[in-house]
Amino acid sequence: MFHCFGGSREEANQIINLGFYLGIGGVLTFKKSGLDEVIKQVGLERVVLETDAPYLAPVPYRGKRNEPSYIPLIAQKLSEVMGVTIDEIAEITTNNAKKLFNL
């Protein structure tokens, strides 16, 4: 997987076509990250969630110490971006992680 992905739509597509996953974290909640548009276009099929704690805390904790309990804030933002429920985000990203890491 490409952890803490923050690249362009073109790079996201290249990564997916190579068989890799995109790690999406707190950057998605930052204003003007542009990541929301990229994910909207590439979809959730190769997306997994990550905090990158203690770094890159999501809004409203931006700049503070990050921790795993903030994962739902990232999932919530992703559910708004994709127009699906947070339960669907949990199911899809958890299944993706299980598949990628053989969990």
Binding residues for another protein, per CB under 8 A? 1-7, 11, 14-15, 18-20, 23, 25, 48-55, 65-72, 75, 90, 93-94, 97-98, 100-103
Least distance between another protein and beta carbon 71 (Å): 5
In sequence order, the β-bridge partners of residue 22 are 2, 47
Least distance between another protein and beta carbon 18 (Å): 5
Return the half-sphere exposure (C-beta side, CA atoms, 13 A cut-off) of residue 68: 0
Which residue in this structure is represented by tokens 């699906």? 84
CB-wise, 31 or 69, nearer to another protein? 69
Mapping DSSP to helix (H, G, I), strand (E, B) and coil, where does residue 24 land? strand
DSSP-derived letter for residue 83 is T
CB-wise, 11 or 80, nearer to another protein? 11
CB-wise, 36 or 38, nearer to another protein? 38
Peptide bond into 54 cis (omega under 30): yes
